[in-house]
Amino acid sequence: MLGALERVTRRGDDIGTAAGPLGPGALGDPNRVKVVVDGRGRALAFFRTPQAPGCARRDAIFQHLGVYAYRAHTLRRWVALPPTAEERDDRLEQLRPLGYGMIVGVAVQQVPVAPGVDTEADIQEIERWLAA
């Protein structure tokens, strides 16, 4: 996750975040947020649907990890902006800064993404794993 912080401090991106390889079935799972990353390591789109908006390259799609790095003035700007229609429709807060032209740098991890806890079924799976 330090890569996300580095994107903000060294590269000057407005926001840094992290992503990793998509696990089996993650592309089709609407509970897993995905990100399309360009060749410079910047987010082009965040989405839940099985098809990436405007992207046919499977190698440019990663699972978003939901962590952020930013400077205080960036966070103040982010929360002061009105939500975009896309943010409201998809329930993805990261679409707001992207929609207003802020640069979201993505630190892509090469290790598999740990399972997220986004649904009741995820909680039950984690409880089974902890009990074992």
β-pairing verdict for 61-70 and 15-20: antiparallel
pLDDT on residue 113? 76
State the residue for tokens 């039950």. Answer: 124
Mean pLDDT by 10 residues, the chain (132 residues): 68 91 86 91 91 75 91 95 95 96 93 78 87 88
Q: What is the CATH number of the domain that holds 37?
A: 3.90.550.10
pLDDT on residue 33? 92
pLDDT on residue 10? 78
pLDDT on residue 22? 87
pLDDT on residue 19? 94
Range of the domain at 29: 2-131
Question: How many CB atoms within 10 Å of residue 19?
Answer: 27
Written as six digits, the tokens of 117 are: 């806890």
In 10-94, alpha helices (H): 72-80, 85-90
pLDDT on residue 2? 63
CA separation for the pair 47, 34 (Å, rounded): 5
Indicate the number of domains in the chain. 1
